[in-house]
Each structure stands twice: as C-alpha cells, then as structure tokens.
Structure 1
Amino acid sequence: MSNPVIRPRRLRTTPALRRLASEIRVHPAELVLPMFVREGNEVMPIQSMPGVVQHSVDSARRAVVAAAEAGIGGVMLFGVPDVRDATGTGATDPNGILNVATRALVDEIGDALVVQTDLCLDEFTDHGHCGVLATDGRVDNDATLLRYSDMAVAQASSGSALLGLSGMMDGQVAAVRSSLDAAGFEDTAVLAYSAKYASAYYGPFREAVASTLVGNRRTYQLDPANRREGVRETQIDIDEGADIVMVKPAGSYLDVLAEVAAMSPVPVWAYQVSGEYAMIEAAAAQGWIDRRRAVEESILSIRRAGADAVLTYWAVELANWLNEERA
C-alpha cells in the first residue's frame, strides 16, 4: 500500500501550527458575565454554583471593575429583591434593586463595558412566573406586555444600554421597542431571548434568584424537542426589531444555535446556563475532568456553533486565561 499523500495531521504537529490553523478563537470581548445583585450589604454564596454569589451593590461595583479590567464585553444584571408581589412592582420601582444596581454600575464603569439588564418579572413576582397571572392562574401574555413596556423604560432610564427580554411572551420585542422609542430611548438596544427552552438546566439559577416558582414555564418557554420552532421564534423577533437574538441554553442546543446563526442578519448570542456551569464544576471537584480544559472547550464549542458572544459565569476567569496566553 502506498503512503497517503493527503495527511491532515501535518497541521497538528506543533502547538504553533495548531494555533495558526485554528478556525475559531475566543476573545474576552465576546464574553458577557451574568451577575446577581441582592438588597442589603451581605454577599451570599450560591451553593449550587460554586464561585458565584449574590452581590451587594458595593461588591457588584468591585466585580464590574474586575470584569472591565479583564476586557470582557459586558455584564448582565439580575435583581434579587427582598419583597415580591403579584405583578412584580419592584421591577419598575426606580428604587428597586435592579434599577439601583444598574445606576451604580453605570456610574462606576461608564463605557468600559456594556451594562445590560434582564427584563423579566420572575425575580420580582411572588408566584415566580415571568408574567402577570390571569384569574385562572395562566400567565396573561398581553397584560404582561404592559409590565414589560414599563420595565423597559425604567431600566433604560437607569442607564441600561441593552435590555435582555427573557420572558418569552408573544410580541414582547415589538411592545418594548415601541415603548422605548416613545420615551426617547431610541438608542437603547434590545436583546431577544428568542429560542429559550423549558430546560432542566436552569435548576441552580432558581437558587441564584431565590425563585418562588410553583409549577413550570412550559406554556411560554419552548419545548426542548422543537428545533424549527426556535428558528421561527427568532425570525419573529427579528421582524419585530430585535437588535440581537439569543439561544438558551447553549450546550444542549448547539443544533438550534447553528441554524439560527445561519439565518440571522443580526448578532446571535448564546447563554451557557447555570446547570451547564454546575455540572462542570461538580465533575471537576471530583477530579473526573480537567476543569480548565472543559471550561475552554465548552465555550469554544458554543462559538463554533455560531454564537457571536456567550453569556457565561466563567467570563472573567476565561478572559484572564486568554489574556495570560496572549501575554
């Protein structure tokens, strides 16, 4: 048998050749750090997400400075209020924790990175759902849009540059865009969580925001079996004026992510969610996997599937690794 002429291994023989032939690279500016900010002065560790905490406003200020120094692209803020009610009034209160934290971080960091805010009611409602409930207990889509519109103006007024619409209500992008424009916030961008699935991987997040949810969100989040539906939801959000679209979770939905990336004329992001984070941390703590390699590979895979940016709880740590490698 003759020796093979085509030898793809030639480009794998040295670290320098592998680096030169690499098709995808991750840059710190493509990473966004989700952050939880609670009322009060106490910083609370999240047991199911080792290394992640509920920040106070002061500790969040310090964390956002470290994030900017690492060169990441932005932070996505989630509020953890002390008091919740049926319609989530704390979400639109100028003195509510999310709006207070947004003003504090924008004041601290300016334009060094993009301060973004989660626009959803689940952290603020006593029932834990992402919207207002009708008398029969169902989530009232159109009544919820009115609350989202008010939230959008409140968050933009507090300085948020990018609103993350994560509630999966029909028509939410159009409603928020209209309200922002009417209030003079034409330059405030909208990130649509377009293909957000009803996933088991959100478990640790419930602890992170002290969720009071009873039941599930399957009537408004997507069925994990449905790829085409995720693409359809994305197209609707683009048509309604979304500036960026999102696939969530990331790791188990790379097929959806790749298809969305192939059809979208706007940037496509993906959220590496709490359960994805917790699984790697737990396996690494047992010594079953190489933690750093697993973190790097998981985020590289999301980028390879088509994400222009990745929300990940490892954003700052990974950015610092990348900066060390370049140095």
Structure 2
Amino acid sequence: MSISILGAGAFGTALATTLAREGRPVTLWARDPYAVSRIRDHRESPRLPGVQLPEIVSATTDLNAAASAETVLVSVPTQTLRSVLERIDSPLDDRALVLCCKGIDLETGLGVSDAARKVKPGLVPAVLTGPSFAADIAKGLPTALTLACADENIGQTLQHQLSTSSLRLYRTTDVTGAELGGALKNVIAIACGACIGAGLGDSARAALMTRGFAEMMRLAEQLGARPETLSGLSGLGDLTLTCTSDLSRNYRYGISLGRGEAFDPEITVEGAATARAAARLADDKGLSAPIATVTSRLTTGALTVREAMDDLLSRPLKEE
C-alpha cells in the first residue's frame, strides 16, 4: 500500500512520521523545494522543527506523482485546497481522498468535502479531524481522531490503514458533521483567545465555549449534520482542546487580538476566514450566530474586543 500526504506543514509531517514509525512508507509532497531538501538532507521539516522523520518518508515537489498513490491525504490550508486539486492532472474518479483541512471555503461557502468535489466531481471524500496537535502526534503521544466517510466500506479500509499504535481513529459516515465541527470550533477558539488576551477571565471563556458549542450545533444541524457527531471528537473534543491551549494557532491569534498585538502572518489561522464564511452562511439560513458574527468583524478590524464583548452581553435575555 502506497501512502502520500499532500502538504508538508506541521500536521502533514506529523502524520507522515507516525505512519512511517509503523513501517508504512510515505511520500510527502511540498510545494516549497527548500522544505523538500530539508527533509531529504536533514530528515526534518521546517514546519515541524525538532522532529526526525524516518528514512521511509520520502519528499517530492511532484504533485501528480504524489497524487497517484493508493491512499492520498490532503493537509493543506482550506483556502488553498481547490487550487491544489486543480493542479492534479488525474480526475481522481472513484478515488478516496482523505481531507485533513479544517475550515469553510470563503469564496464558495462550501465545506472541504464539497469544495474538493467541486474541482474533482468523481472523487470519494473522507475527512480526518478531531482534537490533536501536530507535535503530540509526531511524538507518538496518544491521540484519537474522527475519520468520516459516507461510504462505510471505504471508511473501514481507511480506518485500518491510517490507525497506528498511538493514533486511534473512530469512524463515522457523517462527513458534514465531522468537517463542520473541525471548522467551526476554530471560530470559537479565536473568540476565547481574544477573551483571555483582553483579560476578561476564565468565566467569560467558559461562557463563550458553551454558547459557542450551541451555535456550532445550530448551524451544523441546519446544514445536515447529525447532532451526535458534534458531541464527539470532531466537535466538542476539538473545541475543548483548541479553546484552552496555547498550542492552538487560532487561540493564540485570538490572544493577540485581545492584547492588540500583531500576529505572525506566516502562520495559517483557518478560523479567520471560517468566521466570515460561517457568519455569511448563518445569515443566509436565517440563523442566530452572534459569536461567529462578532468574531468575523473582530478579525477584519470592524470591532474592538471590548465592542465585541459589549455586543454579545447586550443581546436580549432568553432561555438557555
């Protein structure tokens, strides 16, 4: 079985490392020739320093060669997913593609599976998501994720191919629920980070997490997700991790907003674009999504943190 991972960022590199430790050869595609040379010559990715990649991990800049593997995982930012797939010559018909992106495509308003099918209509999308940090996976620390695929047989095959002694995958057929849980929790994480960065306290963060989860459930169910999926690893589990740890890029970005500090533009923050897409989707569906709405305006500079909090706290009182 040949495995390729498209994207040599921290998460793609971590997945390559844990799979290779189990004796599974992996090809890691990177668009950056420097990253490929670092992996080949020093067994280290610039995006995950300090982690030595096993010798059976190979690196390439040849996208079409990497995409010809039997099992292909895609670990690129959501907003570049369609452009990467457009560069693959093969139509990928009837091929399973495991999407490791967490977000909503800002231009189309689509989740990652529909965004992928917009470019390659014949592929079978699967989604790998859940509470995880790349460093933990790369170190072999115990991690559990959700693998979602509408085709149950393909899902079972992928589950066995990609599970390792330290990475446990739970299977579901609810692709919409899994991908929306992974996308929407990033929005709440930015809000929670801004709350802590502005010194508003842990009680306010707990309120944002709880009401944010209710908001996630409303929007996801309206878009066809099953509520139990959002209550699992890909929703509540990922939300808990991302809203409470400094290892979360979205949370750290929120802290910077709360403190009025600049944030490294080289770091991908999926939740910023997702907040805008989620607020737009909620508005189109006639749903109340106050946290997504204020987070969207916060990330674009239309609101300050204090104005965002005042906006949320001044809403009419209601039943929980």
Relative to the length of structure 1, the TM-score reads 0.30
Relative to the length of structure 2, the TM-score reads 0.30
Larger Rg over CA atoms: 1
Greater per-residue helix proportion: 2
